[in-house]
Amino acid sequence: MSSAAPSNPAVKNHTLPSYLNADALGPWGIYLQQVDRVTPYLGSLARWVETLKRPKRALVVDVPIEMDNGTIAHFEGYRVQHNMSRGPGKGGVRFHQDVTLSEVMALSAWMSVKNAAVNVPYGGAKGGIRVDPRTLSRSELERVTRRYTSEINFIIGPNKDIPAPDVNTNEQVMAWMMDTYSMNSGSTATGVVTGKPISLGGSLGRREATGRGVFVVGSEAARNLGLEIRGARVAVQGFGNVGAVAAKLFHEAGAKVVAVQDHRTALYNPAGLDVPAMMEYASHSGTIEGFQGETISAEQFWHVDCEILIPAALEGQITAQNAPHIKARMVIEGANGPTTPEADDILRERNILVAPDVIANAGGVTVSYFEWVQDFSSFFWTEEEINQRLVRIMQEAFRAIWQVAQDNKVTLRTAAFIVACTRILQAREMRGLYP
Let me know whether 176 and 309 are in one domain: no
Let me know whether 170 and 220 are in one domain: no
Q: pLDDT class for 9, splitting at 50, 70, 90?
A: very low
Q: What range defines the domain where residue 73 resides?
A: 55-185
Specify if 434 maps to a domain. Answer: no
Specify if 201 maps to a domain. Answer: no
**Last residue in a domain, options 54, 70, 98:** 54
Q: pLDDT class for 15, splitting at 50, 70, 90?
A: low
State yes or no: pLDDT of 13 exceeds 50. Answer: no
Res 379: pLDDT: 95
Specify if 423 maps to a domain. Answer: no
- The CATH number given to whatever domain includes residue 318 is 3.40.50.720
Specify if 406 maps to a domain. Answer: no
Q: pLDDT class for 315, splitting at 50, 70, 90?
A: confident
Let me know whether 248 and 156 are in one domain: no
The residue among 379, 375, 380 whose CA lies nearest residue 190 is 375
CA-CA distance, 331 to 92, in Å (whole number)? 23
Let me know whether 216 and 337 are in one domain: yes
State yes or no: pLDDT of 227 exceeds 90. Answer: yes
Q: Looking at residues 126-141, what average pLDDT do you find? A: 97
Let me know whether 354 and 212 are in one domain: yes
Let me know whether 169 and 67 are in one domain: yes
Q: pLDDT class for 16, splitting at 50, 70, 90?
A: low
Q: pLDDT class for 19, splitting at 50, 70, 90?
A: low
Average model confidence (pLDDT) across the chain: 93
Q: Name the CA dihedral angle for 199, 201, 202, 205, rounded to a multiple of 10 degrees.
A: 90
Res 30: pLDDT: 86
Q: pLDDT class for 90, splitting at 50, 70, 90?
A: very high
Specify if 247 maps to a domain. Answer: yes
The verdict on whether residue 327 carries a ligand-binding annotation is: no
The verdict on whether residue 53 carries a ligand-binding annotation is: no
Let me know whether 230 and 345 are in one domain: yes
Specify if 80 maps to a domain. Answer: yes
Res 25: pLDDT: 54
163 bridge partner residues: 91
Specify if 389 maps to a domain. Answer: no
Count of the separate structural domains present in the chain: 3
Let me know whether 2 and 12 are in one domain: yes
CA distance from start to end of the chain: 33
Res 12: pLDDT: 43
Around Cβ 24, how many Cβ atoms within 10 Å? Answer: 15
Let me know whether 40 and 62 are in one domain: no
The verdict on whether residue 241 carries a ligand-binding annotation is: yes
Let me know whether 143 and 159 are in one domain: yes
- Which range among 19-23, 79-83, 163-167 shows the weakest confidence by mean pLDDT? 19-23
Q: Looking at residues 329-347, what average pLDDT do you find? A: 94
Let me know whether 172 and 224 are in one domain: no
- The CATH number given to whatever domain includes residue 156 is 3.40.50.10860
Let me know whether 226 and 285 are in one domain: yes
- Which range among 120-124, 180-184, 237-241, 250-254 shows the weakest confidence by mean pLDDT? 237-241
Q: Looking at residues 374-391, what average pLDDT do you find? A: 96
Q: Looking at residues 201-222, what average pLDDT do you find? A: 96
Task: Give start and end residues of each alpha helix (H) in 2-64.
Answer: 27-38
Residues with catalytic roles: 126
CA-CA distance, 338 to 27, in Å (whole number)? 10
Specify if 311 maps to a domain. Answer: yes
